[in-house]
Amino acid sequence: MLTYSSVMDAKGDLYETWNDRFLSAVGAPADADQKWYQPRGIEDLPNLKQSSERDFWGWRSSMRFKIEAWVGQIEVPPHFLLEGERKWGTLILYFLDSAQFIGGGFAVVVNTNGPGTESVKYFTWRACEHAFQHRSTGTCQHEYTCTKCGAKYDVDSSG
C-alpha cells in the first residue's frame, strides 16, 4: 500500500489533484482502485534511471517535493546492486512534478534489512522521458517544452 507520509501543504482539491497526478504518473492503471495501487518494485516505475545522493539532495534543497509516498519492502534487481549489497530495501517515492521532473520524481531505496552491506540507492522516474526544446521568451525568460508530451515550464534566469 502506498502511504502518504506527507503531502506537503496541499489541502482539499489541491491534495486530490496532486494525488491523481502522482498516481497517473507513477503508472497506476486508471481502472484500478488507486488507493490500493502499489508498484511491485522499482522496475515498475516509468523511465527509471539510477541517480545519486548528490542529485536527490540538490533538488530537494531547491524545489518543493509535492508528495512523499512510503511503499514498503521491495527487492532491488541484482543489476542495481554492487558486490555484497543487501537486496531487500524500503522504497520511498518522491513526486516533484515541476521543471524537468514534470510527471516524475525520485525513488529512494534504503537497504538495511537482511545479510550484506547496507546502502541507500537513488533513482529518478518520469511518466515521459521528456525531450525539452528551449525557446527564449524575453531577455532572461526561457520556456522549455517537451516535444513528446507537451509539458512546459518557464525559467527566469535574471536571478
What mask of x and - would describe binding to Zn ion in positions 72 to 111, judged by CB under 5 A? ----------------------------------------
Number of residues that bind Zn ion (CB under 5 A): 6
The distance of closest approach from Cβ of residue 48 to Zn ion in the complex, given in angstroms and rounded to an integer, is: 16
The distance of closest approach from Cβ of residue 146 to Zn ion in the complex, given in angstroms and rounded to an integer, is: 3
Q: Taking Cα atoms as reference points, which of 97, 77, 79, 99 lies closest to residue 87?
A: 77
Q: Which is nearer to Zn ion, 2 or 23 (CB)?
A: 23
Q: Is 112 exposed, middle or buried (0-12, 13-18, 19+ CB in 10 A)?
A: exposed
The distance of closest approach from Cβ of residue 132 to Zn ion in the complex, given in angstroms and rounded to an integer, is: 8
Q: Across-strand partners of 111?
A: 119
Contacting residue, 35, 60, 135, 148, with Zn ion by CB under 5 A? 148
> Of 16-24, 45-53, 110-118, 126-134, which part binds Zn ion (CB under 5 A)?
126-134
Asked whether 45 and 26 are in contact (CB, 8 A), the reply is yes
> Residue 100 has what DSSP assignment?
G
Contacting residue, 128, 143, 144, 145, with Zn ion by CB under 5 A? 128
Contacting residue, 23, 93, 107, 151, with Zn ion by CB under 5 A? 151
Q: Which is nearer to Zn ion, 88 or 144 (CB)?
A: 144
The distance of closest approach from Cβ of residue 142 to Zn ion in the complex, given in angstroms and rounded to an integer, is: 17
Q: Across-strand partners of 90?
A: 73, 110
Applying CB under 5 A, which residues contact Zn ion? 128, 130, 146, 148-149, 151
